[in-house]
Structure 1
Amino acid sequence: MKIIFYLLSLAPIITVFLLLVIARRPAKQVMPFAYFVTATIAILIWQVPLTVLAASTIEGLVMAADILYIVFGAILLLNVLKASGAISAIRQGLLTISPDRRIQAIIIVWLFGSFLEGASGFGTPAAICSPLLVALGFPALAAVMVALIANSTAVVFGAVGTPVLLGINAGLKGSPLVNNYLVERGITYEAYFKEVIIKIGVLNSIVGTLIPLFMVACLTRYFGRRRSWKEGFAVSKFALFAGLAFTIPCTLTAVFLGAEFPSLMGGLVGLGIVVIAAQKGLFIPQQVWDFPPQEAWEDGWMGSLQIAIGSTQKKMSLLQAWMPYILVGLFLVLSRLPSLPFQELLKTVKVNLPNIFATDITVSSQPLYLPGTIFILVVILTYFLHRLTFPALKQSVTEAIKTLSGTTLVLATAVPMARVFINSGFNESGLLGMPLTLADGASNLAGQVWPLFAPAIGAIGSFIAGSATVSNMMFSLFQLGVAQDINVSGTVVLALQAMGGAAGNMICVANVVAASATVGLSGCEGLLIRRFLLPLSYYVIGSGILGLVAIYGFKVV
């Protein structure tokens, strides 16, 4: 009987995968149907009350509105910079560093994007970097692909450590299972949690260092004249150098300072090192790689975001052109440092819906704290800094709204579907919720080799929930329980959960839809997810093998 429940808990994921990835149906058709399938299973099999279903749907709609707000702000900022001429100046500046598209992608999405992830999270890196790459002359499809592949390694610590400090911590702290384990080992929770942070920092960096190489290999394979993996591997020295430039300071920060700033410091330090190296031509191949001429681009490569990259309204210095993005990074950092008053101030404005329909489900949104507010603030400042005309600003707003028009339905069904799946634990059947039922089935099959499969559970959690933080909340206690059952290192298994959650970020439907919306793409979600399967498989399988080696080879406890 248990196998039936395992398979039914897998049904929502299989539905999305089959229709989106295999059948290649657009997300605007797939996600409403997936919501219907998930809701039906929740009601008929898990006996989830209709009040819980309705509350979960409302929770999902509020979360979808938050995502749309962030994406709107990112598109609006890009449109304003396009209108002011800043984008052309930024493009010329990057061309002076290197005209090679592989180098540009590494600098923008791997390093600048990782800094943004460390400062903000919430899908900000892909929302900013995808349209910026389009402005530099990348096909829209290529821009979204590399932005989401790169937005994986830094997600493990995310915005000021949220996936670890909120995700894993909330999943573990106060549990009798954890408390008994700590008593047996004779250590405090704080000391144990520090071990988890260090294991995450070290293991994730080993796997994550190769992500820039995977990213540029996918870029040349799918968007080059020769469709060649080899052209991507030709820049392997620079890609590995850029990988280490991020992962080494990221690891050192995790080991010595904690979980708050590894991604931010890795991105910031790495960006400085790699830009200087690129300017000096270090590790850069002699042969410059570029896309085919635009007239040779395939149907579906371009989105509705069109930018005339060859024209500017006025001459602009590089510092003035980059200033809005510098301000975004600065404001994000200042607004998220707990030692400063801005975080609490921005969080005072709340939209709270407690215990919806008398359930245990509570919806909360803090609109001023969302990155979308910072984007809009920077847009207002840019209006004056770049001396933009009011008609140009109005046109930028109109274009941003138009770009989002095809995305609303997808997010309005994808996020509620995820919340129904997650909240299925509030039921009258006595069953575990669908996520834990799924994980329990996998652990029963895996036995002693569970560390090999632990990252996959984290990735599935992110795929469904749209968040590495939520994935860690859902599965951390379960992962520790399995580790104790098979008598292996709980800290390593928890690290594998976090790494899988970070990797799953690249295939999360909500992230793919949101990033695609910033460049005006729709209907390409399945194609993108198919192209993410190779780097995702590397990350998940590589993490699992590394976990097995650490546990059974090096006897890590």
Structure 2
Amino acid sequence: MLNLIISVVPILLLIWMMTKRNALPSHIALPVTATIIGALQLFYFGSDLTELSANIMAGILSAITPISIIAGAILLNRTIALSGAEAVIRRWLENISRNQVAQLMIIGWAFAFMIEGASGFGTPAAIAAPILVGLGFNPLQVAMLALVMNTVPVSFGAVGTPTWFGFANLGLTEAELLETGRNSALMHSIAAFIIPLLALRFVVSWQQIRRNLLFIQLSVLSCTIPYFLLAQWNYEFPALVGGAVGMSLSVLLAKMRVGLETSEDDHNRAAQEAIPFGQVLKAMSPTLMLIGILIVTRIQQLGIKAMLNDATPMLNIDLGFLGQFSVSQALIIQWSEIFGTSTAWSYKTLYVPALIPFFLVVLISIPVLGLSKKVVTQVFTETASRIRMPFIALVGALIMVKFMMMGGANSPIMTTGRAFSELMGTNWQYFASYLGALGAFFSGSATVSNLTFGGIQQTIAHTVDLPQTTILALQSVGGSMGNMVCINNIIAVSTILGIANKEGYIIKRTVVPMVLYGIIVAIASTFI
């Protein structure tokens, strides 16, 4: 019991620091929490000082992945905004529909759904949220909407990575893995009738939602029906295909004003402000390039994904007591056996969506959009100024995660997970998704959550005689819904939108739909 209390108290302290009336900013609260957990590991759990140091180093280096993605997303966002392309896109979207709900569903729901299916890594919010802010929506409200909307497709995000890779070490047969995916898709699809409504409420009133409810549900179904159907025989493409179909149908429905509250003013102004197709295509070219590159580099069958993940050693350096340093054919940088421990760090230079596609697309867009040297300088200057404090916050978050996972089966995070399961027994399926959400809250990744807690969930299922594919599906859905409160994601979207010191405010509001999500899927699981 004491181990459980010691494990949980620092996290409760973190939540309190970030959500109290005069909340501490994340770049202070997270390093403080990491320091407390490090001290507990050293003086209470008896962790080795060398191992602790190795995890500190790995945590600092691990921040390079999210911060490079954030920097790439901001670069692209500032390029589109300062070139004038954002204004063209805004006018084009307004011509499709001036209805706020339609714009939020097309970009915040369907477009983000498709991007999640192609890439994951937090790119949906990075791409979709700035477009919505460009349409005149409040940045803080958009941040919360983006976090809540980007949950349903996540189990099949990045071409199914949370499912096929997240559960890869559990010894599942192909049939069991496919069944887990089917169950995940069904639970997500049921929750999708409610969750987008809660996301929209962050931005628009219940009256607007009610008056446009038919369009909202048609837009939801245009994504979830193909998503669910494809999940019956595949766990790689449901989100990608569902998002592409849903995006196309949502735009068509909006243009035809199906289920939307409209006014005569919409018809008149849209007709007067038609934008030439060539101008729209040029303004959309960075986003279209981004989507195209993401799809081509994420679909296994095309072979490029394997090339970008080629781990064949190209350079190996023995650093003595510091460990082993290597660079692969695909420029995967790896530092293993850090300080002589089993701790390791790696960075997939070509696969992490920072250089490819974000930075690459920015370089191509500079001449395509005709940016001057002065504007290019401004793009890079504004990006650099935005990522300083988030980098500190992410370092604190990732060191905290490393400390929480130290100790193997007796680590604080595993102790917390086991306590949940022992407390619930045969009622575990009603709470299984929250363990998945806890993993995503700590790690910032549904995939890492599945890797971390998949084994516990499988063991619990066997112990209390529950169907393992149902429990693993709940774990997968939980990892997805944990995106709403994940500190890394909140820092990322806040940084991209230029929001400062609102992480605690966001968590307090996004936790409500997350809890409801868990209730919905728990009820749904009883009928599977």
Does the aligned pair in 2 maintain the 1:13–1:464 contact within 8 Å? Answer: no
Q: Deviations over 1:85-106 (max 9, x none)?
A: 1101100011011112222111
In structure 1, the residue matched to 2:318 is none
Q: Deviations over 1:14-68 (max 9, x none)?
A: 1221111235222122111111122122222322222222222222222211111
Q: CA deviation at 1:9?
A: 1.8
2:341 is equivalent to residue 359 of structure 1: yes
In structure 2, the residue matched to 1:449 is 427
Please list, as runs of the form range in 1=range in 2, the aligned pairs for 1:262-301 lying within 5 A after superposition.
262-286=238-262
- % identity of equivalent residues: 32
2:399 is equivalent to residue 423 of structure 1: no
Q: Pick from 372, 397, 411: which aligns with 2:354?
A: 372
2:319 is equivalent to residue 341 of structure 1: no
In structure 1, the residue matched to 2:179 is 195
Query: Secondary structure at the residue paired with 1:522?
Result: coil
Please list, as runs of the form range in 1=range in 2, the aligned pairs for 1:117-516 lying within 5 A after superposition.
117-170=116-169, 172-173=170-171, 189-220=173-204, 228-256=205-233, 258-286=234-262, 317-347=279-309, 348-373=330-355, 374-425=357-408, 432-516=410-494
In structure 1, the residue matched to 2:312 is none
Structure 1 residue identity aligned to 2:67:
L
Q: CA deviation at 1:145?
A: 1.2
Q: Could you tell me the TM-score, scaled by structure 2's length?
A: 0.90
Q: 1:483 to 1:95 in 2, by over 3 A?
A: same
Q: 1:29 to 1:245 in 2, by over 3 A?
A: same
In structure 2, the residue matched to 1:57 is 56
Q: Could you tell me the TM-score, scaled by structure 1's length?
A: 0.86
Does the aligned pair in 2 maintain the 1:134–1:143 contact within 8 Å? Answer: yes
2:114 is equivalent to residue 115 of structure 1: yes
Does the aligned pair in 2 maintain the 1:406–1:522 contact within 8 Å? Answer: no
Does the aligned pair in 2 maintain the 1:161–1:259 contact within 8 Å? Answer: yes
In structure 2, the residue matched to 1:48 is 47
Return 5+ residue gaps in structure 1 as ranges: 179-188, 221-227, 289-313, 426-430, 551-555
Give the Cα–Cα distance (whole angstroms) in 2 for the partners of residues 382 and 316 of structure 1: 15
Give the Cα–Cα distance (whole angstroms) in 2 for the partners of residues 358 and 246 of structure 1: 49
Please list, as runs of the form range in 1=range in 2, the aligned pairs for 1:92-111 lying within 5 A after superposition.
92-111=91-110
Q: Deviations over 1:519-555 (max 9, x none)?
A: 11110000111110221111112112222x22xxxxx
Q: CA deviation at 1:209?
A: 3.5
Structure 1 residue identity aligned to 2:386:
T
**More deviation, 97-106/501-510:** 97-106
Return 5+ residue gaps in structure 2 as ranges: 265-275, 310-329
Structure 2 residue identity aligned to 1:481:
T
In structure 2, the residue matched to 1:10 is 8
**More deviation, 339-348/465-474:** 339-348
Query: Secondary structure at the residue paired with 1:388?
Result: coil
Does the aligned pair in 1 maintain the 2:458–2:472 contact within 8 Å? Answer: yes
Give the Cα–Cα distance (whole angstroms) in 2 for the partners of residues 450 and 284 of structure 1: 42
Q: CA deviation at 1:287?
A: 6.8
Query: Secondary structure at the residue paired with 1:99?
Result: coil
In structure 2, the residue matched to 1:307 is none
**More deviation, 338-347/115-124:** 338-347
Give the Cα–Cα distance (whole angstroms) in 2 for the partners of residues 345 and 532 of structure 1: 38
